[in-house]
Amino acid sequence: MGVNPIDIIREYLPFLASGTLFTIGFSLAGIVFGTILGLLVCFGKMLNNKVLSAPFVCYITFFRGTPLFVQILLIHFGVVPAIFGQSNGIISGIVALSLNEAAYIAEVFRAGIQSIDEGQTEAARSLGMNRLQAMRYVVLPQAVHRVLPPMGNEFISLIKDSSLLAAIAAPELTYWAQAMGAQYAITWTPYLAISFIYLILTLTMSFLVNRLERRMATK
């Protein structure tokens, strides 16, 4: 009955391969930009001045409180065309994932920093370090160690969340699975196939995070 699933997968193999590369690319971009931006947003939110910290609080509230799917559409059909004059799935994908990831990373970092005993900062400041030095040499190194596991979780979520980019025809894994499923009017073959690939990607990610954790623990 129907077409042999193996033949279909064989036919779509090059597309799944390039889709996998795009998924890895989107995820890496989201992780790198999201972490950098997240750290900045985190410091912004922790500013003592309520007026200055308000925009950062709003940022986190919006990106954590609304569906990523909607954010992707808003950025693709609203923000990116307004800036570049035309929509572009790849730019939109990177921007949407980075902005969304940053909100989560900011909260992870904030929790990590606040979990470090106040006495650590006081000891650093009493030795003459300024706020920045105390943060950089004393608080952050300890916080990074502590936030590594929750960061790993965020990264894994991000890999899976990148599948939502199929909606704006960004040519990642899920996009090709949809194309494949639609062409042959099948469901299981494409989605199980990409699930397997996502599983490999997320397993690789947790392996890397685990290794990093262990290396930091022994250090």
Partner 1 sequence: MIKKLSVLSLLLTLVLIFTACSSGSGSGSSAKKETSKKVLRVVNDATYPPFESLDKGKMVGFDVDIMKALGKVSGYKYKLVNVGWDPVFAELKSKTADMSISAISITADRAKTYDFSKPYFLSTNKILVSKDSSIKSAADLKGKTVAVQTGTTGQAAVEKIVGKNNPKVKKFKTISLAIMEMQNKGAVAVVADNTVIEQYARNNPGKNLKVVEDKDAFEPEFYGIMYPKDSKLKPVFDKAINKLYSDGTYEKIYKKWFKVAPDLDTLKAQQ
Partner 2 sequence: MMIKVENLKKSFGENEVLKKINLEVEKQEVVVVIGPSGSGKSTLLRCINLLETITSGHVFIEGTDIADKTANINKIRQDVGMVFQQFNLFPHMTVLDNIMLAPTKVKKVPKEQAKAKAMELLGKVGLAEKADAYPDSLSGGQKQRIAIARALAMEPKMMLFDEPTSALDPEMVGEVLDVMKQLAKDGMTMVVVTHEMGFAREVGDRVIFMDGGYIVEENEPNQLFAHPNEERTKAFLSKVL
Given the rule CB under 8 A, which residues bind partner 1? 1-3, 15, 73, 76-77, 81, 85-89, 166-169, 171, 175, 178-179, 181-188
Residues 68/100, Cβ–Cβ less than 8 Å = yes
CA atoms within 13 A on the CB side of 112: 25
The verdict on 127 binding partner 2 (CB under 8 A) reads yes
Smallest separation (angstroms) from partner 2 to the CB of 56: 24
Binding mask 89-118 for partner 2 (x = CB under 8 A): ----------------------------x-
Which one of 4, 61, 114, 126 is in contact with partner 2 (CB under 8 A)? 126
Whichever of 70 and 216 has its CB closer to partner 2, that residue is 216
The rounded distance, in Å, linking the Cα atoms of 197 and 203 is: 10
Q: How many other CB atoms sit within 10 Å of the CB of residue 112?
A: 21
Residues 37/102, Cβ–Cβ less than 8 Å = yes
Smallest separation (angstroms) from partner 1 to the CB of 185: 5
Whichever of 78 and 141 has its CB closer to partner 2, that residue is 141
Cβ contacts of residue 63 below 8 Å, gap of 6+? 71, 99, 100, 102, 103, 104
Give residue for tokens 């992780």.
31
**201 token code pair:** 């990607």
Closest CA to 155 of 30, 19, 25, 41: 30
Residues found in the chain = 219
Smallest separation (angstroms) from partner 2 to the CB of 125: 7
Whichever of 137 and 196 has its CB closer to partner 2, that residue is 137
Q: How many other CB atoms sit within 10 Å of the CB of residue 133?
A: 13
Smallest separation (angstroms) from partner 1 to the CB of 198: 17
Q: Which does 188 bind (CB under 5 to 8 A by kind): partner 1, partner 2, none?
A: partner 1
Which one of 133, 187, 204, 210 is in contact with partner 2 (CB under 8 A)? 133
Q: CA 145, 148, 149, 155: dihedral to nearest 10 degrees?
A: 180
Smallest separation (angstroms) from partner 2 to the CB of 136: 9
Binding mask 141-180 for partner 2 (x = CB under 8 A): xx--x-----------------------------------
Q: Footprint of partner 2 on this chain (CB under 8 A)? A: 117, 119-120, 122-130, 133, 137-138, 141-142, 145
